């Protein structure tokens, strides 16, 4: 379901596009929110076309098909945004590692936590680069100037907050390890 919605959203914001274009936009804009590769996108567009949510507007060179959103598609998108209660299921390998890290010895735990912090910092830089690019490209005259902007802001805040957490956790593990070595269990 959500893949459809993401595609309808991109098509609405960018105007008529081919599957290839949409796959690109997935990589460069929605990626921090939802992921999908071309092998998922092409069949989904075909199904959406069968369901009347999108339509082939034109067929360009090398079999390129240009899709546009139909009124039904627009209604579906709005309905989902307004009425669908987003599922709360989370599945994050990063969070799972952080969950399990106390099973390791302090030294090993530090290795893992530092790697998590590095990944977090890398992720933060990516989002910051994205923001800069977006600021440069963003057209306030365009009807959907804020498209993706709130989500990007959320991503940036969470990424900063992740790095802070990693720092504090590393400090905590170091403190406990030090206490454990210096004075054995001062309970």
Backbone angles phi, psi at 57, to 5 degrees: -85, -40
Residue 134 contact partner, candidates DNA, a copy of itself, none, CB within 5 to 8 A by sort of partner: none
Residue 181 tokens read as 């070595």
User: Is 46 an interacting residue with respect to DNA (CB under 7 A)?
Assistant: yes
Q: At 55, is the secondary structure helix, strand, or coil?
A: strand
* Min separation Cβ 54 and a copy of itself, Å: 15
User: Which residues, listed in sequence order, are joined to residue 17 by a DSSP beta bridge?
Assistant: 67
Options 85, 181, 184, 186; binder of a copy of itself; rule CB under 8 A = 85
User: Which residues, listed in sequence order, are joined to residue 68 by a DSSP beta bridge?
Assistant: 55
* Min separation Cβ 62 and a copy of itself, Å: 30
User: Is 2 an interacting residue with respect to DNA (CB under 7 A)?
Assistant: yes
In 3D space, the residue among 30, 38, 39 whose CA is nearest the CA of residue 8 turns out to be: 30
Residue 65 contact partner, candidates DNA, a copy of itself, none, CB within 5 to 8 A by sort of partner: DNA
User: Is 154 an interacting residue with respect to a copy of itself (CB under 8 A)?
Assistant: yes
- Measure the CA–CA gap between 36 and 30, rounded to whole angstroms: 9
Binding region for a copy of itself (CB under 8 A) out of 18-26, 45-53, 98-106, 128-136: 98-106
DSSP conformation letters of 105-148: -HHHHHHHHHHHHHHHHHHHHHHHHHHHHHHHH--TTSTTTTTT
Residues of this chain that interact with a copy of itself (CB under 8 A) are: 2, 5-6, 9, 12-13, 30, 32-35, 77-78, 81-82, 84-104, 108, 111-113, 115-116, 119, 123, 140-141, 144-151, 153-155, 157-158, 161-162, 164-165, 168-169, 172, 176, 187
């Amino acid at each position: 379901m959500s893949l459809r919605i993401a595609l309808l959203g991109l098509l609405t914001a960018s105007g008529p596009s081919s599957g290839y274009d949409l796959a690109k936009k997935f990589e460069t804009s929605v990626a921090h929110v939802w992921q999908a590769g071309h092998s998922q996108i092409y069949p989904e567009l075909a199904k959406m076309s069968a369901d009347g949510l999108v339509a082939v507007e034109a067929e360009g060179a090398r079999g390129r098909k240009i899709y546009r959103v139909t009124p039904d598609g627009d209604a579906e998108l709005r309905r989902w945004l307004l009425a669908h209660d987003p599922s709360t299921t989370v599945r994050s390998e990063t969070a799972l590692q952080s969950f399990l890290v106390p099973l390791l010895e302090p030294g090993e735990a530090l290795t893992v936590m530092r790697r998590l912090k590095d990944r977090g910092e890398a992720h933060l830089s990516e989002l910051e680069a994205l923001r800069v690019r977006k600021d440069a490209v963003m057209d306030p005259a365009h009807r959907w100037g804020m498209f993706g902007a709130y989500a990007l802001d959320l991503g940036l805040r969470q990424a900063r907050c992740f790095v802070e957490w990693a720092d504090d956790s590393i400090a905590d593990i170091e403190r406990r390890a030090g206490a454990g070595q210096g004075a054995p269990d001062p309970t």
